[in-house]
Amino acid sequence: MTIREVCIQLYDLSVDGHFNGEKFSQTQLINYVRNSFRPEVNLHGDNKLVMMIELPDGVWYFYIVQYDKGQFDYYIPDTREQEKRVITILN
């Protein structure tokens, strides 16, 4: 998927566009994610961006991953135990 496709799906899943404790428009989310993967911002060359998303069942950590050729996908854990593994990416 493209960044735009990933962000639209995530936005539709979220509660009123809440990510990282803030309310985003779709355009703001797309720009935030796009800028996070720019080489001058992403100094370590990481291919994952960890964020928080507000879902109907609570706030969850998730990540967006960049594959070759500008393809992206996301992973939202199903359980809090799985979420702990996402959080370890931050360290």
Q: 91 pLDDT band (50/70/90 cuts)?
A: confident
Q: Looking at residues 13-19, what average pLDDT do you find? A: 98
Task: Convert the pLDDT of each residue in 25-79 to its tens digit.
Answer: 999 999 999 998 876 555 455 688 999 999 999 999 999 998 877 899 999 999 9
Q: Is the pTM of the predicted complex or chain greater than 0.95?
A: no
Give the model's pLDDT for residue 62: 97
Sequential DSSP letters for 50-77 = EEEEEETTEEEEEEEEE-GGG-EEEE--
- What per-residue confidence (pLDDT) applies to 2? 95
